[in-house]
């Protein structure tokens, strides 16, 4: 089955099992960096943005002082897997080993994009991602937040800081429409500035559409007309409702401004 195929340390493996040493820091501590990309036609498509995904890996590795992978071998592995999967997760270990897995587009993605989803606001700031400016393998807080959201009947979780400001979802960046423009939390707030977030900011500004960055406190989120979240797999998903302990905040999942974000993926 295709689900069992992956690439590891220079080899295409079809057993569905990865062998790691019991003292591997990636196993013990989640000491890896990774990026997830959706492949559009080819690795070199502008929407795939292979170069930016690799650059993000490289910046993280440089910051941590870890070994660089064999970049040509990394690309070779990615090329081998796109024959089976439209979505790739590329992981790098501290010693430069590469591990690439694949998956499929969510079966209900079109419905989510058209109708929007409900998201749950996390109850505690400790569910913020570890080292939020870097996409590391320690994703436990975000995973726990998403698990709690699913139990509440929501499709996503919104992470908050110690003051209750909204930061990002468990899997992507958030966007809100207010005063005729899109707003997103600034990187300084402690978010992962995703590849699609950067693409969208550049795309909107190229088309003379202003983009704002501001903290999302309680007053700010109440003034928003529409919100959405983005990542490299799902593109743009409207959020029609945000559930919290006290109440539910509703937003317009059919707001005209959503077309500005979605148009990036239809060029």
The pLDDT tens digits along the chain (267 residues) read 567 999 999 999 999 999 999 999 999 999 999 999 999 999 999 999 999 999 999 999 999 999 999 999 999 999 999 999 999 999 999 999 999 999 999 999 999 999 999 999 997 778 888 888 999 999 999 999 999 999 999 999 999 999 999 999 999 999 999 999 999 999 999 999 999 999 999 999 998 999 999 999 999 999 999 999 999 999 999 999 999 978 899 999 999 999 999 988 886
Residues 182, 204: contact at Cβ < 8 Å? yes
Q: What are phi and psi of 219, to 5 degrees?
A: -70, -40
Tell me the residue length of the chain. 267
Q: Residue 60 belongs to what H/E stretch?
A: helix 50-64
- Write down the pLDDT at residue 186: 96
Distances (CA, A) of 261 to 53, 113, 178, 211: 20, 12, 14, 11
Q: Where are the domains of the chain?
A: 2-103, 109-266
DSSP assignment, residue 42?
A: B
Q: Where are the beta strands (DSSP E) in the chain?
A: 6-8, 11-13, 33-38, 87-92, 98-103, 117-121, 156-160, 166-169, 173-178, 181-184, 211-213, 226-231, 235-243, 248-250
Domain at 109-266: CATH code: 3.20.10.10
pLDDT at residue 243 in the model? 96
Q: Decide if domain 2-103 falls under CATH 3.30.470.20.
A: no
The DSSP 8-state label assigned to residue 198 in this structure reads H
CA dist., res. 176 & res. 213, Å (int): 10
Residue 1's pLDDT is what?
59
Q: Check residue 23 and give its pLDDT.
A: 97
Are 176 and 227 in contact by the 8 Å Cβ rule? The answer is yes
The model carries a pTM of 0.94
**CA angle (261 as vertex; 220, 89 as ends), nearest 5:** 100
């Amino acid at each position: 089955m295709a689900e069992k195929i992956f690439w590891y340390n220079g080899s295409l493996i079809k057993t569905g099992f990865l062998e790691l040493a019991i003292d591997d820091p990636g196993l013990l501590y989640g000491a890896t960096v990774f990026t997830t990309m959706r492949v559009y036609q080819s690795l070199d498509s502008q929407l795939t943005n292979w170069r930016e995904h690799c650059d993000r890996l490289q910046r993280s590795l440089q910051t941590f002082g870890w070994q660089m992978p064999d970049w040509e071998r990394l690309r070779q592995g990615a090329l081998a897997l796109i024959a089976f999967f439209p979505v790739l997760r590329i992981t790098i270990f501290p010693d430069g080993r590469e591990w690439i897995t694949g998956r499929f587009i969510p079966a209900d993605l079109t419905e989510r994009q058209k109708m929007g989803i409900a998201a749950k606001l996390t109850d505690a700031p400790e569910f913020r991602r570890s080292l939020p400016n870097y996409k590391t393998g320690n994703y436990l807080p975000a995973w726990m937040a998403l698990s709690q959201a699913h139990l509440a009947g929501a499709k996503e979780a919104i992470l908050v800081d110690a003051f209750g400001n909204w930061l990002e979802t468990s899997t992507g960046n958030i966007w809100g429409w207010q005063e005729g423009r899109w707003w997103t939390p600034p990187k300084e707030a402690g978010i992962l500035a995703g590849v699609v977030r950067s693409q969208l900011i550049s795309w909107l500004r190229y088309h003379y559409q202003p983009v704002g960055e501001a903290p999302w406190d309680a007053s700010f989120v109440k003034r928003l007309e529409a919100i959405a979240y983005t990542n490299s797999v799902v593109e743009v998903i409207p959020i029609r409702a945000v559930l919290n302990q006290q109440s539910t905040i509703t937003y317009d999942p059919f707001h005209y401004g959503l077309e500005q974000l979605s148009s990036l993926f239809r060029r």
